[in-house]
Structure 1
Amino acid sequence: MKLTPVHEKLSVADQPDAAEIAALGAGGTVLLINNRPDDEEAAQPGTEVERAAAEAAGLAYLHLPVTGPSLSRSDVDRFREAVLAAPGPVVAHCRSGTRSLTLWAIGEVLAGNLSRTELLAYGSERGFDLTGAARWLDAHGDRT
Structure 2
Amino acid sequence: MVEIRKVTDGFAVAPQIGPDDVEAIAAAGYKTIVANRPDGEGGITQPRMGAIRTKAEELGLAFVAIPFSGAPTPEILERIGAALAEAPSPVLAYCRTGTRSITAWALTHAGQGMGEEIVDTAAGAGYDLSSLRALL
Under a length normalisation based on structure 2, what TM-score does the superposition of the two structures give?
Answer: 0.84
- Choose the corresponding residue for 1:51, options 49, 53, 62: 53
Counterpart position of 2:11: 10
* One-letter amino acid of the structure 2 residue matched with residue 84 of structure 1: A
Higher helix share: 1
Match of 2:128 in 1: 129
CA distance in 2, matches of 1:136, 1:53: 39
| Offset of residue 68 of structure 1 | 1.5
Are 1:95 and 2:111 matched, yes or no? Answer: no
What is the 5 A alignment of 1:1-144? 1-42=2-43, 43-69=45-71, 71-110=72-111, 112=112, 114-115=114-115, 120-130=119-129, 134=132, 137=135
Which residue identity is paired with 1:56?
A: E
Runs of 5+ consecutive residues of structure 2 not aligned to the other structure: none
1:68-100 Cα shifts (integer Å, max 9, x gaps):
24x211211211221122232110000111011
Cα distance in 2 between the residues matched to 1:118 and 1:104: 13
The amino acid across from 1:86 in the alignment is A
Distance in structure 2 (CA, Å) of the matches to 1:121 and 1:90: 20
Q: Work out whether residues 37 and 94 of structure 2, in 8 Å CA contact, stay in contact via their aligned partners in 1.
A: yes
The Cα RMSD (Å) is: 2.3
Instruction: Show structure 1 runs of 5+ residues with no match.
Output: none
Q: How many pairs does the alignment contain? A: 134
Using the aligned pairs only, state the percent identity.
33
1:33 alignment partner, SS class: strand
**CA pair 93-136 structure 1, distance change in 2 beyond 3 A:** farther
